[in-house]
Structure 1
Amino acid sequence: MKSAIRFVVLLLWSCVTAGDPQTNFLRNGCSSYAVTNASAFAVTFNDTLADLRSSISGSNSSLFATAHRPAVQSVYALFQCRGYLSAADCLACFSVAEGRIRSCGPAYGGRVIYDGCFLRYESIPFFDQVTPAENGNSCGGRNAATGGFTTAVRSLVADLSAATPRIPEFFAAAKRVGVFAVAQCVETVSEEGCQQCLAAAAGNVMLCLPGVDGRALEPLCFMRYSDESFFPANRTVDLSPYMINSGRAKSSNKGALIGGVAGGVGGLLLLLGFTSLLWIRRSRDQRSPSEGGAYLGLKYKEGCLKDGRTVAVKRLAIAQTSRARADFQSEVKLISNIHHRNLVRLLGYSSKRDDFLLVYEYMENGSLDKFIFGDKRGFLNWRQRFSIIVGAARGLSYMHQEFHVCIIHRDIKCSNILLDNYFQPRVADFGLARLLPKDKSHLTTIFAGTFGYTAPEYAIRGQLSEKVDTYSYGVVVLEIISGRKCNDIKLEPVTQYLLEWAWKLYERDQLLEMVDETLDPSEYSPEEVKKIIKIALLCTQATVAARPTMSEIVVLLLNQTDDALQPTRPTFIDASSRVHGDHASSSSTGSSSTSHGTSNATFSTLQFSAR
């Protein structure tokens, strides 16, 4: 049946005549980072775009193409036209998109979106990457005269988002009671990835209602509706064969759902009742996680979960008390509302019986610590480390200043920063996080954190503010640059913790001595490295008010100069709570009794993947 429909759709497409490339510009974006070798990049970039043009023109013309030129400055590129364009219109749209995206060079990546086509390039592979939703849309200026139009849009958009992932080439155009709409995913993504993207796109495009024209602009997919036809009448696809299968799947899954996800997780995952019996079962798609489409079913003695992706489960080994259960529920409510590309997302949970379990999205490359001073030390180059430094700062900035309440993590360290398949950072483990009332610092008698990363005012006096995370972040940056643990005094120079060593090198203007010896000096600018070390030292200043906010740190990291970076001496604290430095006397006083170490809860992560 599917092959027959595919033939009919392709046959209809072949009848299109040129006339409207739909080059109405919608959005573009360029990476903030410039390539290190602009001339080499320019050659590779031009060759890659030429390869794309060749793929969509001539006798073997296509509405979709990818290209990759391996080189010192590799370039991966993807181009896609809407499924209703003719070959000639598609080529015309590519020409317009090519001209605009060249303005991004020599940035590491860029993309441009038009009504008729989409063009993107990166310096790393991304063709099957399931990226976070961007909540992007573009809405027209006119509103519908009646409520019936809004109802029709909601119905058609919902059907398109459900059916399109099951349609060949991930494209569908449909018409229903005065509404014209299309949905499309890039062809290299998995069916599950397309489904997730269109679910987000459907929510975004409906924010345009009661407007009569709306578009959702996501990295992997596109959705549009209008009260006016914008595609040929013979391009429509019958959605019913795909909706039948969708309805059956939804019906069978609905009866099995027992647990749930706290606010904000939506339809991504509903977690079931957990029992002691747990095993993993492959689903019908046998691809590995690295191929971007692993489908897994987590099965329990009671109920069935089938989310279609690899997940990580965290079991909290904590006392079975009302306080522990309350803390668990608090963590779930907190995390489930946090959505940011640099924060690990909670997918579901269970507190049934004796188990406290949290289900997170799975990060393929695990925690950062093994790449900095673990068994994979030396694997990350300078550009990757810098990207991790910036990404972690952005995640913390969101927690502190962009979320509707200020969230303090309290345990920022390399083991709590995870890396996805493309080594993009995600701050993880919000088990120690606490909400902070606006415009207030907070005194707490319960210490939570890890020695070496904890700000003195918190470790000694129990004074908690978002600047505690800033301090920890600064220590982590020093670790990323040096490849040395912050509290390891066994390494040379002896008897000095990392922060104290960094400050002494700063005073002697010898900061480059702390750069990880595994880094290739030709890959980084000495001035850039020194600037980032100074930023890290700013984060660890003894005076809390002198530390920058995380949003200010993001700006400093991306700024080209370091003229204004003049950190003051940090307060140094060792494992016996002995404090020394310019502010030792003020830091050693306090009203609370604390102890160093991690919280009473212990955590273990079970990573589920295809076998």
Structure 2
Amino acid sequence: MGLPIRPLCLFSLSLAFLPFLQLIPLAKSASDYTNLVYKGCAQQALSDPTGVYSQAISALFGSLIAQSSKNKFFKANTGSGQTNISGLFQCRGDLSNVDCYNCVSQLPILIDKLCGKPTAARIQLQGCYMLYEVAGFPQVSGMEMLFKTCSGKNIGGAGFEERRDTALSSLENGIGSGNGFYTTSYQSVYVLGQCEGDLSASDCGQCVQTAVQRAQSECGSSISGQIYLDKCFVSYSYYPNGAPKRSSSSSSFSSPETASTGSGQSTGKTVAIILGGAAGVGFLVICLLFTKNLMKKHDDS
């Protein structure tokens, strides 16, 4: 009579732990600096029958990656004459050296995967970007817009655009004193800007000013936006609960949705895991005692 009880208890126990198992995949890394923003791949592929270009590109990538553990910006050249290839990387100003290296080391793989081997390529992640160009590749204006994204409807209420514009104006004023990288916030609007590492202070200010104007005209009342020009980028986000502080375990800032709700969700998941685990252990003990009692009665009879 005691034997059918044990499988029933184990089956019930598995049901008790099922919510705990379902919670595990929901956990996500706080770091988003390696998320892909955009890719730029030249239409013309390299003609490389001898592999000389491939060798030069590999050497260039190796040099850039090696420098990313100690620099936030670096330019390099490999090859000579027609086979000369120039390139650079830049990390976001708030990344640590370790995060910068981790970010940059992924870029050559992504360039090869997303672009192959064109005459020029650029991959932008949230925390860093890398580009290379073969000799003679046509140059573009530093003010040319490469990519934009505007998201979310206006939930900031009346006067949101004025608050955003005030925050962006503070960014314009501060970028010159921030060595090409600057962040600030104003009434729940967080803004960030960065210029290419070798840009002068005046050119950086002009580039950011252009990017701010594009953000205002292109994104309208959107609560977040990112504008990437060739030599600089700006971004803004609305955080109803205040701009997030940088996490000690992450070099990134949460999205507006995560900033306003993520803490509660994390706490809820932790409580659910604890309660689920405790309930499961308690149920297991009850099953074992119940089964032992039945087996004892069976032996006595």
Shared fold per TM-score greater than 0.5: yes
Amino acid at match of 1:150: E
Range 48-57 or range 85-94, more displaced: 85-94
Give the structure 2 partner of residue 66 of structure 1: 75
Counterpart of 1:84 in 2: which secondary structure?
coil
Give the structure 2 partner of residue 145 of structure 1: 156
Counterpart of 2:179 in 1: which secondary structure?
helix
Aligned: 1:53 with 2:62:
no
Amino acid at match of 2:110: R
Range 181-190 or range 197-206, more displaced: 197-206
Give the structure 2 partner of residue 30 of structure 1: 41
Alpha-carbon distance between aligned partners in 2 of 1:158 and 1:88, rounded to the nearest angstrom: 32
Is the CA contact (8 Å cut-off) linking 2:150 and 2:219 kept in structure 1? yes
Give the structure 2 partner of residue 186 of structure 1: 196
Is the CA contact (8 Å cut-off) linking 1:184 and 1:221 kept in structure 2? yes
Alpha-carbon distance between aligned partners in 1 of 2:238 and 2:149, rounded to the nearest angstrom: 15
Is the CA contact (8 Å cut-off) linking 2:211 and 2:227 kept in structure 1? yes
**Superposed displacement of residue 196, structure 1:** 2.7
Aligned: 1:169 with 2:169:
no
5+ long unaligned stretches in structure 1: 1-17, 236-611
Residues 475-509 of structure 1 show CA distances to partners (whole Å, capped at 9, x for unaligned) of xxxxxxxxxxxxxxxxxxxxxxxxxxxxxxxxxxx
Alpha-carbon distance between aligned partners in 2 of 1:119 and 1:46, rounded to the nearest angstrom: 13
Is the CA contact (8 Å cut-off) linking 2:144 and 2:230 kept in structure 1? yes
Aligned: 1:204 with 2:218:
no
Residues 396-427 of structure 1 show CA distances to partners (whole Å, capped at 9, x for unaligned) of xxxxxxxxxxxxxxxxxxxxxxxxxxxxxxxx
What is the correspondence of 1:396-407 to structure 2 with a 5 Å cutoff? none
Alpha-carbon distance between aligned partners in 2 of 1:152 and 1:120, rounded to the nearest angstrom: 35
Is the CA contact (8 Å cut-off) linking 1:129 and 1:189 kept in structure 2? no
Alpha-carbon distance between aligned partners in 2 of 1:150 and 1:169, rounded to the nearest angstrom: 27
Is the CA contact (8 Å cut-off) linking 2:145 and 2:227 kept in structure 1? no
Counterpart of 1:147 in 2: which secondary structure?
coil
Give the structure 1 partner of residue 52 of structure 2: 40
Amino acid at match of 1:203: Q
Counterpart of 2:142 in 1: which secondary structure?
coil
Alpha-carbon distance between aligned partners in 2 of 1:90 and 1:194, rounded to the nearest angstrom: 22
* Percent identity of equivalent pairs: 24
What is the correspondence of 1:342-421 to structure 2 with a 5 Å cutoff? none
Could you state the TM-score of these two structures normalised by the residue count of structure 2?
Answer: 0.63
Counterpart of 1:155 in 2: which secondary structure?
helix
Alpha-carbon distance between aligned partners in 2 of 1:82 and 1:120, rounded to the nearest angstrom: 15
- Kindly indicate which of the two structures has a greater share of residues assigned to helix: 2
Which one of the candidate residues 156, 164, 183 is aligned to 2:167?
Answer: 156
Is the CA contact (8 Å cut-off) linking 1:76 and 1:125 kept in structure 2? no
Alpha-carbon distance between aligned partners in 2 of 1:202 and 1:96, rounded to the nearest angstrom: 29
What is the correspondence of 1:86-97 to structure 2 with a 5 Å cutoff? 86-97=96-107
Is the CA contact (8 Å cut-off) linking 2:83 and 2:135 kept in structure 1? no
Give the structure 2 partner of residue 122 of structure 1: 133
Counterpart of 1:153 in 2: which secondary structure?
helix
Is the CA contact (8 Å cut-off) linking 1:137 and 1:204 kept in structure 2? no
Amino acid at match of 1:218: L
Is the CA contact (8 Å cut-off) linking 1:41 and 1:106 kept in structure 2? no
Aligned: 1:100 with 2:110:
yes
Alpha-carbon distance between aligned partners in 1 of 2:43 and 2:142, rounded to the nearest angstrom: 18
Alpha-carbon distance between aligned partners in 2 of 1:99 and 1:84, rounded to the nearest angstrom: 24
Structure 1 runs (4+) greater than 6 angstroms displaced: none
Output the aligned Cα RMSD.
2.8
Residues 125-148 of structure 1 show CA distances to partners (whole Å, capped at 9, x for unaligned) of 99x985342263111234323133
Alpha-carbon distance between aligned partners in 2 of 1:186 and 1:23, rounded to the nearest angstrom: 19
Alpha carbons of 1:120 and 1:147: their partners in 2 closer, same or farther (altered >3 Å)?
farther
Amino acid at match of 1:225: Y
Alpha carbons of 1:191 and 1:43: their partners in 2 closer, same or farther (altered >3 Å)?
same
Amino acid at match of 2:46: V
Alpha carbons of 1:195 and 1:125: their partners in 2 closer, same or farther (altered >3 Å)?
farther
What is the correspondence of 1:161-560 to structure 2 with a 5 Å cutoff? 161-164=172-175, 166-206=176-216, 207-228=218-239, 229=243, 232=246
Alpha-carbon distance between aligned partners in 2 of 1:105 and 1:138, rounded to the nearest angstrom: 25
Residues 8-53 of structure 1 show CA distances to partners (whole Å, capped at 9, x for unaligned) of xxxxxxxxxx962512222111112222325211111111011011
Alpha carbons of 1:233 and 1:70: their partners in 2 closer, same or farther (altered >3 Å)?
same
Counterpart of 1:169 in 2: which secondary structure?
coil
Alpha carbons of 1:136 and 1:200: their partners in 2 closer, same or farther (altered >3 Å)?
farther
Counterpart of 1:196 in 2: which secondary structure?
helix
Alpha-carbon distance between aligned partners in 1 of 2:222 and 2:171, rounded to the nearest angstrom: 19
Residues 149-197 of structure 1 show CA distances to partners (whole Å, capped at 9, x for unaligned) of 2211111112312431x22431101111111111100011233332332
Could you state the TM-score of these two structures normalised by the residue count of structure 1?
Answer: 0.32
Alpha-carbon distance between aligned partners in 2 of 1:217 and 1:74, rounded to the nearest angstrom: 27
Alpha carbons of 1:159 and 1:74: their partners in 2 closer, same or farther (altered >3 Å)?
same
Alpha carbons of 1:49 and 1:19: their partners in 2 closer, same or farther (altered >3 Å)?
farther
Amino acid at match of 2:73: F
Higher relative contact order (CA 8 A, sep 6+): 2
Alpha-carbon distance between aligned partners in 1 of 2:172 and 2:146, rounded to the nearest angstrom: 16
Count of aligned positions: 213
5+ long unaligned stretches in structure 2: 1-28, 252-301
Aligned: 1:111 with 2:122:
yes
Alpha-carbon distance between aligned partners in 2 of 1:181 and 1:223, rounded to the nearest angstrom: 7
